[in-house]
Structure 1
Amino acid sequence: MSLYKNQQDTSIGIPPGIPYIVGNEAAERFSYYGMRAILVIFMTQHLMNASGQRDVMTEQEAQGYFHLFVASVYLMPVFGALLADFFWGKYRTIILLSMVYCLGHLSLVVDDTRLGLALGLGLIAIGAGGIKPCVSAHVGDQFGSHNLHLLGKVFGWFYFAINLGAFLAILVVPWLLEHAGASAAFAAPGLLMLLATWVFWSGRRRFVKIPPSGMRLIKDLSERSVWPALSKLALIYTLVAVFWALFEQIGSSWVLQAEKMGRRIGNVELLPSQIQALNPLFIMLLTPCFSYGVYPFLSRYISLTALTKIAMGLLLTVVAFAIPAIIQMQLDQGVQVHIVWQLPAYLLMTAAEVMVSITCLEYSYTEAPKSTKSLVMAAYFFSISLGNLFTSAINFLIQNADGSLKLSRADYFWFFTGLMLATALLFMLLTRMLEKKDLARTALR
């Protein structure tokens, strides 16, 4: 082990374990996003009971459980980080939780009842969420001082693999659900997760494996010097959680809206779940556009700090969510609207994701004290969980006992749009306050 680490430190090329990690990530993301893409449609159209009869959920119930599942996925990174840091190390944690992940897919394949759904989603949440903080950190572990300059390039491949896997899955898996049924549709992501686990295991002799750090994290947290930075990040994450409450509805309320829209383009009729593929496609296109075009252009006219980028992204989210609100107003009157009108909403929401999510990750890495970076990443994922818990709660609370809703479909979209506007304005005030503090601290130095 130590001999291999020393060899890595003197290497000047790409570490030999990287292809296995990138391949694993592409297959795992296909698995997760493919399964997730069809969840709402499965729960509202294909769910059965033990007697083999249909036992489907209402749209609000399905949205509630969808966001509860996503919230669980993003809560589990805390669990995975603890396992990796205190007991197993990152490699062993990834392998063992990937097996749990595979069992979750198997449950969805063999049991199309509510019990099978609950068991499958529970195991997938543990597996997918548990490995999340470990995989990206495992990438960094592969680099030594002589090839650290290649880390950015490798993370670019890593991020591309994520979105390529998601894009292909969102096209393929809904088609399988429509033409081959639920078991086949869930089997494809399951097989890809099995492939992902095998690919990662195949690289076991080429990885640098960092042992668990044990009690060092607790010791580091006892130092008072780390808390001002952690408090600032916690405040930012609380507001960014509202962004995730809206963004994750790409997989729920936007899909259900697409189901009621005209989806025929030429001789092809798109499936409601397939529209989500626009998000990873736009991510692959927009990320370099922002890095090499939009940000340099804006920097000529304004001071483009990380917090400014996030604030602009939150404002874009307001516009993005207003579009399906306007569409829903038309649908509620019986007016037929074509799916092409959702395209600008996806474009703006993806642009907001680039400005909020990617920037927030980079800001977290730079602002977090060195000894607490893994904890900070778990806190960042918790903000995603918090946003989904809020959306889940709203969907359960708006249901009346007689089946009616406290918020109509259009009012539902406008509620989240207004909430996002208030959050964006509050974040702008916070940005001004934090940047003044940073300037004052710099002047004292």
Structure 2
Amino acid sequence: MESETRVVRERTFFGHPRGLATLFGTEMWERFSYYGMRAILVLFLTAPPVRGGMGLPNVTAVGVYGVYIASVYLLALAGGWISDRILGPRRAVLYGGAVIMAGHTSMAVPAGGGFVWLGLTLIALGSGLMKPNISAIVGDLYRHEDDARRDSGYSVFYMGVNVGAFAGIQVVPWLQRGDRWHLAFGAAAVGMAFGLLQYVLGRRHLKGAGEHPEHRLTPEERARFTRIALPTAVAAATAMALWAASGTLTLDRFTIVLTVLSAVVPAAYFAFLFTGTHEITPEERTRLTAYVWLFAAAAIFWMIYDQAGGALTLFAQERTDLNILGFDVPPGWVSNVNSVAIIILAPVFAEIWIKAGDRIGTPLKFAVALVVIGLSFVVMAAAAVAASGTAKVSIMWLISVYLVQTIGELFISPVGLSVTNKLAPHAFVNQMMGVWFLAVALGDSIGGQAYRLTSVIPMPMYYLSLALVAVVAGVAMLVFSKRLARLMRD
């Protein structure tokens, strides 16, 4: 009896498979490094060189931030393909984590901008390899279970994301105080090292989930891939070299090109899926049609939500009174309201999704998320009005914005991971997790470029314009939610 009890305990984690604990911990530490560094990135890019920063204008820094965040998710499609065809999800997560750690280590070197750009590149590459595949392994733990239980599992997993985000946002900006930028970047590297250790020690609990590629390349396919990939890489490198040699390459122009790329890649990938057979059944293709609309809705949501590290962080630094009872709160700490709220609310929403079952469909959840995220920027517009002139506003404005956004996030983010796993064609499971992150990439890159509007329109109008886009999209999603549910076979 004692032995049986021990086995049961070994296989459960908050009532879920024991392997979820391994993935929970790994993702938690990866998010510690990611969100900790993100909380100070725009501040570092805009800080003058005499304070150890890069000295970029606000508009340029937010554009760089937007395309960096977009690149993290844009590369998830390639990471999913590598996992599906070559490595398998388990090894992809391991290798991706190692590259991320190398990127943060590079940023910790106080030797000029070259190490910063190298570090951002490595973090984006590693994240592209790790992010879709750790999420796919979570789904694989529930391959024989119903949708509601899988939604619940993703919500618990998402709580781990925000535990890590909370810790990272607390620790890294605190270490950065006094312009100790590279010490803070080093802490992010240590966090990723802990994540890798957690993953290696706990992989035995995954019980075969994500162990092998879903559709390993044949020798012929591998040769064809090599013939295409190498010339493409050489052509891209040559184009960049020629652009730099022409003297027309600037950070602003480069971010615009990457924004266009973030729109072209998902459009091309969906076109690929809808043309030819690719081992996709007619029913799977019907579900993909519904998924395209969910993808567009998610991109609009992230366009607003991920301005937390850009526009909202600058608003916290420049327009918010951060002195609380004599203590100056670091600007990066304010966004932690979101992490705290999610840690508290994620288990509640996980339980709600189980009890609601199929009564609350995915399109309806997406519609609510869009309306809520739009309303958060209505609040932000009011804060911008209150901060007109030289006045600084109470920190409660930003706290209110983050609390509203948290509600919207819980309606779309863990649910989006789950529905992607559900609607993905069998031959493209891990790649489709990468496609979900392409929605984040598209939204982030557009959001970063949208901030350029602040040079020609007042800040309140900027926030209201984005709010209108989200609310209109949410209402449209609500109107067509039943039709989308039928396409999804929900």
Q: What TM-score, normalized to structure 2?
A: 0.76
Please state how far the C-alpha of 1:164 moved relative to its aligned partner: 0.8
- Does residue 279 (structure 1) correspond to residue 338 (structure 2)? The answer is yes
Where 2:440 maps in the other structure, the secondary structure is: helix
Relative to structure 1, the CA distance from residue 144 to residue 336 in structure 2 (aligned partners, 3 Å threshold; closer, same or farther) is closer
The answer to whether the 8 A contact 1:141-1:210 is kept is no
Deviations 1:185-215 (A, max 9, x none): 1010111112222332334566536222215
Q: Which residue of 2 aligns with 1:4?
A: none
Where 2:75 maps in the other structure, the secondary structure is: helix
Moved more, 208-217 or 115-124: 208-217
Please state how far the C-alpha of 1:23 moved relative to its aligned partner: 2.6
Deviations 1:82-126 (A, max 9, x none): 111111122222222222111111111114633222211111011
The answer to whether the 8 A contact 1:43-1:57 is kept is yes
Q: Which residue of 2 aligns with 1:239?
A: 297
Name the amino acid aligned to 1:85.
D
Please state how far the C-alpha of 1:47 moved relative to its aligned partner: 5.3
Q: Which residue of 1 aligns with 2:180?
A: 181
Q: Which residue of 1 aligns with 2:313?
A: 255
Q: Which residue of 1 aligns with 2:467?
A: 417
Relative to structure 1, the CA distance from residue 196 to residue 175 in structure 2 (aligned partners, 3 Å threshold; closer, same or farther) is same
Aligned partners of 1:386, 1:369: CA distance in 2, in Å?
Answer: 22
Where 2:415 maps in the other structure, the secondary structure is: helix
Name the amino acid aligned to 1:123.
L
Name the amino acid aligned to 2:44.
F
Q: Which residue of 1 aligns with 2:243?
A: none
Deviations 1:343-365 (A, max 9, x none): 11111111011112233333333
- Does residue 62 (structure 1) correspond to residue 112 (structure 2)? The answer is no
Moved more, 229-238 or 206-215: 206-215
Deviations 1:116-143 (A, max 9, x none): 2221111101111210111132345567
Q: Which residue of 1 aligns with 2:33?
A: 31
- Does residue 384 (structure 1) correspond to residue 384 (structure 2)? The answer is no
Relative to structure 1, the CA distance from residue 122 to residue 428 in structure 2 (aligned partners, 3 Å threshold; closer, same or farther) is same
Alignment of 1:28-427 (within 5 A): 28-45=30-47, 55-111=54-110, 113-141=112-140, 155=154, 157-179=156-178, 181-203=180-202, 207=206, 208=208, 210-212=211-213, 213-215=215-217, 221-259=279-317, 260-292=319-351, 304-396=360-452, 398=453, 405-427=455-477
Please state how far the C-alpha of 1:283 moved relative to its aligned partner: 0.9
Aligned partners of 1:205, 1:359: CA distance in 2, in Å?
Answer: 27
Where 1:329 maps in the other structure, the secondary structure is: helix
Aligned partners of 1:103, 1:280: CA distance in 2, in Å?
Answer: 26
Where 2:177 maps in the other structure, the secondary structure is: helix
The answer to whether the 8 A contact 2:301-2:369 is kept is no
Aligned residue pairs, count: 417
The answer to whether the 8 A contact 1:47-1:112 is kept is no
Please state how far the C-alpha of 1:161 moved relative to its aligned partner: 2.0
Deviations 1:5-32 (A, max 9, x none): xxxxx99834675544333222111111
Aligned partners of 1:133, 1:293: CA distance in 2, in Å?
Answer: 25
TM-align CA RMSD? 3.3
Moved more, 209-218 or 419-428: 209-218
The answer to whether the 8 A contact 2:303-2:444 is kept is yes
Aligned-residue identity in percent: 26
Please state how far the C-alpha of 1:378 moved relative to its aligned partner: 1.9
Name the amino acid aligned to 1:427.
M
Please state how far the C-alpha of 1:415 moved relative to its aligned partner: 2.0
Moved more, 246-255 or 179-188: 179-188
Aligned partners of 1:431, 1:243: CA distance in 2, in Å?
Answer: 17
Where 2:216 maps in the other structure, the secondary structure is: coil
Relative to structure 1, the CA distance from residue 150 to residue 312 in structure 2 (aligned partners, 3 Å threshold; closer, same or farther) is closer
Aligned partners of 1:27, 1:135: CA distance in 2, in Å?
Answer: 13
Deviations 1:189-247 (A, max 9, x none): 11111222233233456653622221599975454442111121012211221110000
The structure with higher relative contact order (CA 8 Å, sep 6+) is 2
The answer to whether the 8 A contact 2:159-2:346 is kept is no
Deviations 1:294-335 (A, max 9, x none): 997xx7xxx633212221221111211111111112212333
Gaps of 5+ in 2: 1-7, 219-272
Please state how far the C-alpha of 1:151 moved relative to its aligned partner: 7.0
Deviations 1:350-399 (A, max 9, x none): 10111122333333333444444333322211111110121122235x48
Deviations 1:224-277 (A, max 9, x none): 442111121012211221110000011111111111211122232211110111
Aligned partners of 2:476, 2:37: CA distance in 1, in Å?
Answer: 36
Deviations 1:377-431 (A, max 9, x none): 22211111110121122235x48xxxxx122322222221122223223323332
Where 1:110 maps in the other structure, the secondary structure is: coil
Name the amino acid aligned to 2:212.
P
Relative to structure 1, the CA distance from residue 425 to residue 295 in structure 2 (aligned partners, 3 Å threshold; closer, same or farther) is farther
Deviations 1:161-186 (A, max 9, x none): 22111101111111111146001110
The answer to whether the 8 A contact 1:105-1:189 is kept is yes
The answer to whether the 8 A contact 1:101-1:124 is kept is yes
Q: Which residue of 2 aligns with 1:13?
A: 11
The answer to whether the 8 A contact 1:230-1:376 is kept is no
Name the amino acid aligned to 1:100.
V
The answer to whether the 8 A contact 1:46-1:182 is kept is no
Aligned partners of 1:351, 1:11: CA distance in 2, in Å?
Answer: 32
The answer to whether the 8 A contact 1:11-1:144 is kept is no
Where 1:189 maps in the other structure, the secondary structure is: helix
Relative to structure 1, the CA distance from residue 268 to residue 19 in structure 2 (aligned partners, 3 Å threshold; closer, same or farther) is same
Aligned partners of 1:26, 1:316: CA distance in 2, in Å?
Answer: 26
Please state how far the C-alpha of 1:434 moved relative to its aligned partner: 2.9
